[in-house]
Amino acid sequence: MNKVNTYTDEIGDWLHQIYSSQANAESGQAVTTALSRFATFAYSAGRVFTDSLGPQISIGHFTVIIGAAENFVSSLESAVSAIMMMVQNVSHCVPFATFMLMPERGVSSGDLEAGELESIAFENLVFSYPNSDRVILDDISFEIKKGEKISIVGLNNAGKSTIVKLICRLFEPDSGRILWNGIDIRDYDYDSYLEQISCVFQDFMVFPFTIQDNIDPLGESGEDEVWEILDEVSMGSDVRSLPQQLNTYLDKSLFEEATDMSGGQKQKIAIARAVRKEADLVILDEPTAALDPLAESEVYEHFNDLVRGRTAIFISHRMSSSVFCDKILLLDGGRIAAMDSHEILMKGNNLYRTLFETQAANYRK
């Protein structure tokens, strides 16, 4: 809470400086404008009634001078206002510029090239998020072999998404190791390692480009392959109904001819982008959260076709998604409670069976 208050105070001071400068500039402009008008009126009026300031002028000349002076003042006010607005906008960009100039956090990178996945394993791994005393993962160990489809299941805050973040090297473990083919992932070249992984996170994004560019941003696949993937995620018919089809843009605020897609359609585009990448490990973290039950069922039915025999890690709060996976990794309190098939876990008395039957009972009501 102290950090939030400190941040709020800093933002308040920064905005106070900006608006104080703006107010001072506007006050100075108002005083300058008033003085210039007074001087113009006084001088012109003096020239009308007396020749002490120069040759007398007529009322007509007086009117012309006053009109010209008003036009000049109005133009000056517009120019000053534009400059003030520009300065204010630049001030608003200062935090962003400061952020962009900050040095990037170094990521340790080895010299090894990550080869085709044979296995990925966690070895006595412990992890807590920075500036937190809570242990998220507590001495966990497990192994996923090539071609296996694993569903990670557990209660909220059990550490499901944390496992994915650690695999993607968004964080480093406090202790223990993650092994890719028996070698610590930190010994691999960072870019080479990430090339082997394809993810769809909960907070996925689609970009304001065409559908084709969203699914195949590097242009590595032909249209036929993109259409095939769209059909597999039950999105092909929707895209074919669009006038520009694969060349349709996805942001109406930038392109008039763009289309507005629903959250579920965007999620299908994100899934299509992930499975198109020729990566050995596919990670889907809540990939069907925005889909309706029918669309979700279609994705599950085509799941084996989607991952195309690759190793896959699947996270979902909907327990029915675990049925089509080879094994379920059950997390409870930051530890591994079990790792086995759906059939075997349903025979025991464990958290997985409780979660599955509770959710199934709710669906039957």
φ, ψ (nearest 5 deg) of residue 50: -150, 160
- 280 by DSSP, 3-state: which? coil
Spatial separation of the C-alpha atoms in residues 11 and 13, rounded to whole Å: 5
Mean pLDDT is highest, among 32-36, 187-191, 249-253, 269-273, for 187-191
H helices present in the chain, as ranges: 2-49, 59-101, 160-167, 190-194, 211-215, 223-232, 236-240, 263-276, 293-301, 303-307, 342-347, 351-364
> For all residues of the chain together, what is the average pLDDT?
80
What pLDDT, on a 0 to 100 scale, did the predictor assign at position 287?
66
Mean pLDDT is highest, among 7-16, 200-209, 306-315, 326-335, for 326-335
- Residue 274's closest CA among 324, 231, 227, 312? 312
Percent of all residues in the chain with a pLDDT value above 70, rounded to a whole number: 88
Q: Does the pLDDT value for residue 136 go beyond 70?
A: yes
Predicted TM-score (pTM) of this structure? 0.65
Q: Span 77-82, mean pLDDT?
A: 82
Q: Does the pLDDT value for residue 343 go beyond 80?
A: yes
What pLDDT, on a 0 to 100 scale, did the predictor assign at position 4?
62
Beta carbons of 118 and 146 less than 8 angstroms apart: yes
- Residue 178's closest CA among 104, 133, 117? 117
Beta carbons of 280 and 117 less than 8 angstroms apart: yes
pLDDT higher at 10 or 329: 329
Q: Span 65-76, mean pLDDT?
A: 82
pLDDT level of residue 122 (50, 70, 90 thresholds): very high
Residues 94-113: pLDDT tens digits?
Answer: 777 777 777 666 666 778 88
DSSP 104: P
Residues 278-317: pLDDT tens digits?
Answer: 788 888 887 666 566 666 666 666 666 677 778 888 887 7
In b/e form, how buried is each residue of 13-36, taking b as 16+ CB within 10 angstroms? eeeeeeeeeeeebeeeeeeeeeee
Residues 16-51: pLDDT tens digits?
Answer: 777 787 788 788 878 888 888 888 878 777 777 777
